[in-house]
Amino acid sequence: MTKEMKNIPEALTNIIDKVKEAYHDDIEVQKLFENCFLNTYQTTLKEDEEGTFVITGDIPAMWLRDSSAQVRPYLTVAGDDPEIAAMLKQVIERQWKYILHDPYANAFNQTPNNKGHQQDDTKMSPWIWERKYEVDSLCYPIQLTYLYWKATGDNSILSPTLKKVIEVICQLWKVEQNHEENSPYRFERDECRVSDTLLREGKGGFSVKTGMTWSGFRPSDDACLYGYLIPANMFAVVALNYATEMLEAMKEIELATRANELSIEMKKGIETYGKVDHPIFGDMYAYETDGNGNVNLMDDANVPSLLAIPYLGYTAPTDDTYANTRDFILSRHNPYYYEGEKATGIGSPHTPDHYIWHIALAIQGMTATEKAEKERILEIFKNTHGSTYYMHEGFDADQPEQYTRSWFAWANSMFSEFILSEIGIYVPGSPLSNERKVEEEHNVL
C-alpha cells in the first residue's frame, strides 16, 4: 500500500514507549501497537489549505464515522501536545463543514471532484463520495468534539458553527422520528447487492413512530433491515447529552433544552420498543426494530453495536440488560458470531461468512469485566494479523492470513485503544475512563 510517511511527534513516541515498558517481555504486542497506533497519523492524514482530510486507508474518501474513530486514540495526548490538538481541531471543523453541506451524507471528497458514487439515485453533489444516511455518522463528530473539549480544555471549539451543526442534527433527527411522513431522504443504487440500496423506491422498509430516529444504513454501510437501529439510537442519546452539556457551557439554553428533550424521547423509544424477552437470555436489546412488532436479533461488528453499549456510554458494563444482550451476542444465537480454529468473535454480513472483525474484538476486550477475557482477546489479536502486524476488516476464523482490507485504519486505531486501556490510558472524558474512575474510587473506599 502507498503511504505518505510523517514525522512522529514526541507525544506519540512517549505513548509507544509506555506500551513497550508495560509489555517489555512481549515483542509481538510492542510491534503491533507501534504499527497500528501510528497508522492513521502516518498514512491517512492529508493536509491542504482547509486543514486536515482523513482517508480511511485504501479508500480515498473521508467518512464522518471512520475519521472520528481513527484519530480518537490521539486524544490521549491532545492536552499536552499543541500540534496534535491542532490536527484534531482541523478534523473536527472539516467534519462540521461536511455536515452543514449535507447531513444525510456519510462520506466526502477532499475537493469537489465528483468522485465516488455519483450515479446513485439520491441528492448528490461534487463534494459527496457517498450519501448513505446513517445515524452514527452524525453521532461521531459530536462525540469527537466533546472529547476534544474535555481533553484540551479548548473553549474556542464551543463556537457558533458548533451550535449550527448541533441545530442541523437535531432538526434532522426530529424529521426522521417520522420517516414515513416527513423525510425527504431517498436512496437507490442500481446493479448492486440488495444491502447497498433501499427498497420502496429508495424510502426503505416501513416503520412507525416510536420516539427513536430512523436510519437508512448501518455503520457497515449496509442497509438496515428495520429502520430503527437500536445501538445507533443509543449513541444518539449519548451524543445529545454531550451536545446539551456543550450548549449549556455556551449559554445556548433554548437549543440545549431541545437537545435534552430529544435525547429523552429517543431513550424512551429504545427502552419501550428496543427490548425483547428472550426465552434463553431474558430481557435484552434487539439490533433493529420497525416499531410495528418486528425485531432483528443479531449484532454487527461495526460500531455502534450492541456489544459496544458501555463503550458508547449508554449503560455500564454491569447493567443486567446489557449483560444478557452480551451473552446472546457472544453465542451461536447471534448469526454473525463465529467460532474457528484460530479465533472466536463477531463478524458482519458486510464481509464473507466465518470472517471475524478486529474492531469487534477490540470492543469485546474493552467492555469485558473479567481479566481472563481481556487476555484471551489479546492473544487472538496476536495470532490473527496474518503476519502483517496490522489489523484488518475481517479475517477467516480458521485461516487469518485470509482477510479483507489490508489498509483499514479504523481497525488499527481500535486495537490501539484496546491496548492503551489495558495499561490504564484512556481518552479523557470517555465513558470507559469514567468507569475506571468509579472503580478506583470504589477500591479506595
Cα–Cα distance between 107 and 128 in angstroms, integer?
6
Is 4 within the bounds of a domain? no
Cα–Cα distance between 398 and 131 in angstroms, integer?
35
Q: What beta strand segments (E) does 290-389 contain?
A: 295-296, 337-339, 344-346, 355-357
For the domain that residue 361 is a member of, what is the CATH number? 1.50.10.10
Is 23 within the bounds of a domain? yes
Exposed (0-12), middle (13-18) or buried (19+): which is 204, by Cβ within 10 Å?
buried
Cα–Cα distance between 297 and 310 in angstroms, integer?
19
DSSP string spanning 259-293?
HHHHHHHHHHHHHHHSEEEETTTEEEE-SEE-SSS
Per-residue burial over 367-394, b if 16 or more Cβ lie within 10 Å, else e, is bbeeeeebebbbebbeebbbeeebbbbb
Is 74 within the bounds of a domain? yes
Cβ-proximal residues to 264 (8 Å cutoff; 6+ apart), any chain: none
Please name the helix (run of DSSP H) or strand (run of DSSP E) that holds residue 53, with its range, or none: strand 51-54
Q: What is the pLDDT at residue 433?
A: 84
Q: What is the pLDDT at residue 402?
A: 98
Question: Is 314:297 a contact under the CB 8 Å cutoff?
Answer: no
What are the phi and psi torsion angles at 286 (to 5°)? Answer: -85, 160
Provide the grid cell at 82. Answer: 499543541
Is 282 within the bounds of a domain? yes
Q: How many domains does the chain have?
A: 1
Q: Which residue has the cell 436510519?
A: 215
Q: What is the pLDDT at residue 145?
A: 98
Q: What is the pLDDT at residue 434?
A: 75
Exposed (0-12), middle (13-18) or buried (19+): which is 333, by Cβ within 10 Å?
middle
Cα–Cα distance between 85 and 97 in angstroms, integer?
19
Per-residue pLDDT of the chain (445 residues; tens, 9 = 90+): 444 446 899 999 999 999 999 999 999 999 999 999 999 999 999 999 999 999 999 999 999 999 999 999 999 999 999 999 999 999 999 999 999 999 999 999 999 999 999 999 999 999 999 999 999 999 999 999 999 999 999 999 999 999 999 999 999 999 999 999 999 999 999 999 999 999 999 999 899 999 999 999 999 999 999 999 999 999 999 999 999 999 999 999 999 999 999 999 999 999 999 999 999 999 999 999 999 999 999 999 999 999 999 999 999 999 999 999 999 999 999 999 999 999 999 999 999 999 999 999 999 999 999 999 999 999 999 999 999 999 999 999 999 999 999 999 999 999 999 999 999 999 999 998 876 655 555 454 3
Phi-psi region of 280 (alpha: psi -120 to 50; beta: other; left: phi over 0): alpha
| Domain encompassing residue 175 | 10-440
Instruction: Reduce the secondary structure of 147-171 to three states and give it as a string.
Output: HHHHHHCCHHHCCHHHHHHHHHHHH
**Cross-strand bridge partners of residue 108:** 62, 128
Is 377 within the bounds of a domain? yes
Q: What is the pLDDT at residue 439?
A: 59
pTM: 0.97
Is 315 within the bounds of a domain? yes
Is 3 within the bounds of a domain? no
Q: Is the sign of the CA dihedral 394, 396, 399, 402 positive or negative? A: negative
Is 1 within the bounds of a domain? no
User: Nearest CA to 362 among 383, 377, 341, 384?
Assistant: 377
Q: Which residue has the cell 451476542?
A: 329
